[in-house]
Amino acid sequence: MYKFDEINYYEDDLNIKNILKEINLQEIDESLNICDLTNIVNKHDIWQKNLPRIHPHYAVKCNDNPYIVKTLAELGTSFDCASKNEIKQVLDFGVNPEHIIFANPCKPLSHIEFAKEKNVQTGTVDNEFEIYKLYKHYPESKLVVRFRCEAKNAQCPLGNKFGCDAENDATALMLLAKSLDLNVCGTSFHVGSGCNEFAAYNRAIMTAKNIFNFGEMLGFNMNLLDIGGGFPGSDDTKFLTISNIINVALDRYFSSQKIKVIAEPGRFYVAAAYTLICKIHAKREVRNAGKLDTKMYYINDGVYGSFNCILYDHHEVTATHMLNDSEGGLPTFKTLLWGPTCDALDKISDNLYLPNLNCGDLLAFPNMGAYTVPIASPFNGFMTPKTLYFMKKKPT
């Protein structure tokens, strides 16, 4: 039987249909995550093969589950933390503070004090108030100036909230840091999460070079380029295209190997590792002038739970019907999926075509590992999913 509080091992491939048959979900009324930690190991391989010069700092905010953080720490990635608690969590796994970047440009004071106490020295800044704050409370820290360079098309743009103007503000911030005798060591950007305009990386790396030049002119030891996140979670072909653009840009603008290049990937590592299994518990058919228009199903997870990613991350839902091997070729119907709460905002998708389904049927939702788990709430008394963790057995 599978266990919830430890890793379950599989031999060749993770077969979700077989797992579900064995755990008899028909008797359980809560949604369930199946997390394949080997998927994360494979992602790390892909990263190392395609971006060998770039040291990944996993963005903990994306999914702070301890199994994920531990797996990545054991693989040797570093970490992007946004808060005191994220720093603490990562340090508790034995990660060296030098392998953490405090990549929140607007940090509460107690979090800065914690970083100082734990010797997490490197952090991003994008405004003068943060620089004054660091001058007062952590003058020995290493500043990474984050500038704004957004993709024209991204799932979640970040530029309205973070990143200074690269031409005017970045230079002014570095001059201020110099006048306060602070230590600027590099620059960073984030093209937007789920970047869909890959040339943005080239533009940003080119801009970073200008900022490096200015910093060096001021006498700073500029040795850190942080290219942020934005990498796709479930499309490795896109990832290869992005890698190619980044490698060419680095060769062109940052050929010196003395410069350490890091990134802050989040969804790249974890999105595809999770498949969410939900059960239909209620059904309605909507008719228009007596004719069937839509089949509506109510399932045991929704936008207040795992599907918060629809609201916050603009996630596009895909679903497969589980446990029915013989339905290929069956007619499909316009399908609307509702979450379990009594709120009409709790709509998962009205854009799916699925075969006729019934109460008790299971649906599988792939790519549910990014920006889902840490945000889910048990609103209306509907519990967030439990997770079963799997890993491929190592050959003996």
Ligand X SMILES: Cc1ncc(COP(=O)(O)O)c(C=O)c1O
Task: Say which DSSP state 370 is in.
Answer: S
Residues 6+ positions from 273 with CB-CB distance below 8 Å: 35, 36, 37, 39, 40, 43, 68, 369
Closer CB to ligand X, 20 or 309, in the complex: 309
User: Could you please report the per-residue DSSP string of 199-233?
Assistant: HHHHHHHHHHHHHHHHHHHTT----EEE------S
CB 178 → ligand X: shortest distance, Å? 25
- Decide: 283 and 344 in contact? Cβ < 8 Å: no
The CB-of-230 to ligand X minimum distance in angstroms stands at 5
Name the residue nearer to ligand X (CB basis): 103 or 276.
103
Residues for the chain: how many in total? 396
Tracing tokens 């024209």 back to the chain, one arrives at 152
Minimum distance from residue 18 beta carbon to ligand X (Å)? 31
Whole-number Å distance between alpha carbons of 336 and 348: 8
Report d(CA 313, CA 367) in Å as an integer. Answer: 12
Cβ proximity to ligand X, 141 vs 300, nearer residue: 141
Return the H-helix or E-strand segment holding 175: helix 169-179
For the bound state, the minimum distance from the C-beta of residue 263 to ligand X, rounded and expressed in Å, comes to 8
The residue ranges that bind ligand X (CB under 6 A) are 59, 62, 80, 103, 158, 190, 193, 228-231, 264-268
Closer to ligand X by Cβ: residue 142 or 190: 190
Residue number with the smallest Cβ distance to ligand X: 229
If the CB atoms of residues 265 and 339 are measured against ligand X, the closer one turns out to be 265
Mark whether 342 is an active-site residue.
yes
**Catalytic choice (35, 185, 195, 342):** 342
The two three-digit tokens of residue 50, written as one number = 């395609």
Q: Shortest distance, CB of residue 154 to ligand X, whole angstroms?
A: 8
> How far, in whole angstroms, is CA 83 from its chain's centroid?
16
Cα of 300 vs its chain's centroid, Å: 24
Beta bridge partners of 188: 146, 226
Nearer to ligand X, 162 or 365 (CB): 162
Least gap, CB of 245 to ligand X (angstroms):
16
Residue 141 is classified by DSSP as: S
What count of Cα atoms within 13 Å lies in the side-chain half-sphere of residue 99?
20
> Which residues are catalytically annotated?
342
